[in-house]
Chain A
Amino acid sequence: MQIIPLFVAIPLGAAFFIPMVGRKNPRLSDTLANITTLALFLMALSVIGKATQVYWMGGWVPRLGIPVGINLVLDGVSIFMLVTITLISFLVTIYSIHYMDKFTSKARFYSLFLLMVAGMNGVALTGDLFNLYVFLEITSIASYALVAFGGQHEELEASFKYVVLGCVASTLVLLGIAITYAMTGSLNMAQVSTIIGGNFKPIHLFTMALFISGFGLKAALVPFHAWLPDAHPSAPAPISAMLSGVVIKTIGIYALVRVMLNVFGMTPLTSYILLVLGTISMVVGVLLCMGQDDIKRFLAYSSISQIGYIVLGFGLGTRLGIAAALFHLINHAVFKSLLFLNSGAVEYATGTRDFSKLGGLKDKMPVTTTTAVIGSMSIAGVPPLSGFWSKLFIIVACVQAERYGFAAWAAGVSVLTLAAYLRMLKRTFYGQPGEAQPAAREVPMSMKLSMVALAALCVVMGMLWMPHAQRTFLIPAARVLQEGLTYASSVLGM
């Protein structure tokens, strides 16, 4: 039994099935959704450390080295992304059990949620450019609908903005894929990379520009970030956690890096573009986040800043830089989902997200407060939490690559992040009790459970840099990206 296609097939099947059986019985849809995401997570754990496997859909194996069908590739990076996606989606579905009681049509919520997960798993696995676009659209459409799930003014408006920019991004990507096809006659990433093979013409630069702006829009890198601070806060908290935690990383950064490094091959110019885009996002994101009064908008801007770190690491193009970027990617997925879930808990308990009405929640909501402190300290890079290690290694990688300026920016932004998060903690959990404080109560069990699990992960995740975990998990992923064009030979088996 091949496991690779199941990563897409299982959530897809569950997404078709849940609205049929779960309409009248919300608890049944809770159970089914949680079983599905748990199964996916266990499957992702079971493939860690496996060698590269290629699965040809429909049995269309290549003929004379020419790919005829669509392939799914399970290599180091795909495994890494699958673990990240399924881990966060599993913890988020647990959280949704009680949180989503405040909304109607829970079955449709889970259906859209699982479609989003299926789309992201597909993006992480596919080895075909057009198939990548199709999965990109599945993920995006599901997330547009989920952002509008609350049905209120701001939510609809944010979702519309997101749809418009998301659509433009998808068309830019599709145009890029079309030009790539026109140049190479193939859609298979491995074959395209053997044909282009680092030999750059002006048209390839134009295509790269299309991909960078398309995927950059999806990832909300700074000149393209306008939709994110509206869309992420407007969604229900579990979806905010998914969007900031994994969606922008999978359909934005992962897709961009895969296309850039494995298909086109990194050049000094593209590397420099990534470094600059990353640094701008890092700095602008943190500066904008300092002035926010809404806890979820605050977290959304902070996501832009952290995405900057990840792109900076990838832009270095060295083994250490890429490994550190991947490390920060999974760490950010964990602590940013945790913080969004905390903000959801605060909103669930008090009905507001405004700093001016919050404050002094620490006695009423001890679990939420403790986990939020751990998450904030981790994102701010306080040792020995996970965020400290990944930021440290990004800075070390910058120094090692002799990019001292970028290293200084990364260190400076880290200090600003700490200041911003201390202010957020003070105004929400400590400080003077706000007007919303008296009515607040600790949130239900399932919400607490997933927050505690994520906080625990924040503490232990630094261990991923220990030699054994590094060798089986991080380094295989970094190697696939760093060795760039050898991707083709490992997929086509030449």
Chain B
Amino acid sequence: MLELMGLLLIFMIIAAIVAIETRDLLAAVISVTAVGFGSVIAFFYMRAPDVAIVPIVVEVLILVILIRATLRVGLKTFVGNRDFFGMMVTIAMLLVIFLAGIRVFNDLPAFGEPVMAKMMDAPSRIYLANGLNDTGAANIVTAVLLDYRAYDTLGEATVLFTSIIGAIAIIRKKARKKPSEPEVEEWTV
């Protein structure tokens, strides 16, 4: 089981590297979706069925959006990164973060032993013990999402609203006008 998680993660890392390094944009888009679906499987394994369902939808949406962006007549493919020196600095920096990360992650509770098992006053314990009585939801994740922490969910809906209004504002065909001019709404895409 734990080994399987490790393999899945390695698969996701490989898919991510392919997505970033491949020349073909369409292949890159498909590989990044493979990363997403890798995490779907991992979520199922880690007993998070609610969370596993959402990325299926989200990944498909991202796939559609990204493919729409790559379908361009005469899209030039080009390879190459920013300058070589900068790349070396970046890699060195990331390596430092990685080594520091491995060192300090020893302080984290081991994988498979969540912190709520040891921490007597973790809110999760209250949710698990009283969730059904408090909210009437048998699914504790739903209880947390829609009742105990409903304010986050309101924020999440607001984020979606903001990004939709924002995207509509961005794809306006004509953004500037003379002060006296009446406006016409037209969108590109």
Which A residues form the contact surface with B (CB < 8 A)?
12, 15-16, 19, 57-58, 60, 63-70, 98, 101-105, 108-109, 111-112, 115, 118, 122, 130-131, 134-135, 137-138, 141-142, 144-145, 148-152, 156, 159, 179, 181-188, 191, 195, 201-203, 205-206
Contact = CB atoms under 8 A, between A and B. Distances in A.
A184 B123 CA distance: 10
A131 B153 CA distance: 10
A474 to B, nearest CB: 30
A419 to B, nearest CB: 33
A63 B126 contact: yes
A185 B104 contact: no
Contact of B115 (A70, A142, A185): A185
B100 A151 contact: no
B121 A65 contact: yes
A202 B185 contact: no
B131 to A, nearest CB: 10
26 contacts: A15-B161, A58-B148, A60-B148, A67-B123, A70-B149, A70-B152, A109-B169, A111-B165, A112-B166, A115-B158, A131-B152, A135-B155, A137-B159, A138-B159, A145-B170, A183-B115, A185-B114, A185-B119, A186-B121, A186-B123, A191-B121, A201-B107, A202-B103, A203-B107, A206-B100, A206-B104
B151 A58 contact: yes
B179 A102 contact: yes
B1 interface: no
B122 A185 contact: yes
B56 to A, nearest CB: 22
B101 interface: yes
Give the residue among A67, A122, A150, A151 with the most B Cβ atoms within 10 A.
A151
Given A16-B161, A103-B175, A179 B155 contact: no
B130 to A, nearest CB: 8
B53 to A, nearest CB: 21
Nearest to B124: A185
B104 A134 contact: no
Interface string B49-83: 00000000000000000000000000000000000
Nearest to B101: A206
Contact of B176 (A60, A70, A134, A151): A151
A145 B176 contact: no
Given A105-B169, A108-B169, 5 more contacts: A58-B150, A58-B151, A60-B147, A195-B119, A205-B104
Contacts of A142: 162, 166
B94 interface: no
A156 B169 CA distance: 12
B174 interface: yes
A63 B126 CA distance: 9
Contact of B158 (A12, A68, A179, A181): A12
A149 B109 contact: no
B170 A118 contact: no
Given A185-B115, A185-B116, A186-B123, A141 B159 contact: yes
Interface string B143-185: 0000111111001101101110111111010111111000101
A184 B107 CA distance: 12
Contact of B168 (A64, A108, A185, A203): A108
Contacts of B165: 19, 108, 111-112, 115, 145
Given A70-B149, A130-B152, A185-B122, A103 B166 contact: no
B85 interface: no
B108 interface: yes
A142 B104 CA distance: 35
By DSSP majority rule, is chain A's interface helix, strand, loop, or mixed? helix
B103 to A, nearest CB: 7
Contacts of A156: 170
Most-contacted residue by chain A among B103, B126, B166, B167 (CB, 10 A)? B166
B127 interface: yes
Contacts of B123: 66-68, 185-188, 191
Contacts of B84: none
Q: Which 5 A-B pairs have the closest CB atoms?
A: A145-B166, A151-B175, A185-B122, A134-B155, A101-B179
Contact of A131 (B122, B147, B151, B178): B151
A263 to B, nearest CB: 16
A102 B127 CA distance: 52
Contacts of B109: 182
A435 to B, nearest CB: 21
Contact of B172 (A70, A134, A151, A159): A151
B102 to A, nearest CB: 11
Contacts of B166: 112, 141-142, 144-145
A201 B155 CA distance: 33
A205 B101 CA distance: 11
Contacts of B103: 202
Contact of B119 (A122, A130, A184, A206): A184
Contacts of B169: 105, 108-109, 112, 145, 148-149
A152 to B, nearest CB: 7
B1 to A, nearest CB: 20
Give the most central of A19, A69, A159: most B CB within 10 Å.
Answer: A69
A203 B126 contact: no
A135 B150 CA distance: 14
Contacts of B155: 122, 131, 134-135, 137-138
A206 B100 CA distance: 8
Contact of A183 (B107, B174, B177): B107
A175 to B, nearest CB: 10
Given A145-B169, A206-B100, A68 B159 contact: no
B187 to A, nearest CB: 11
Contacts of A135: 155
B127 A145 contact: no
Given A68-B126, A108-B169, A138 B183 contact: no
A35 B172 CA distance: 27
A102 B168 CA distance: 18
A134 B156 contact: yes
Interface string B100-142: 1101110111000011100101111011000000000000000
B151 A186 contact: no
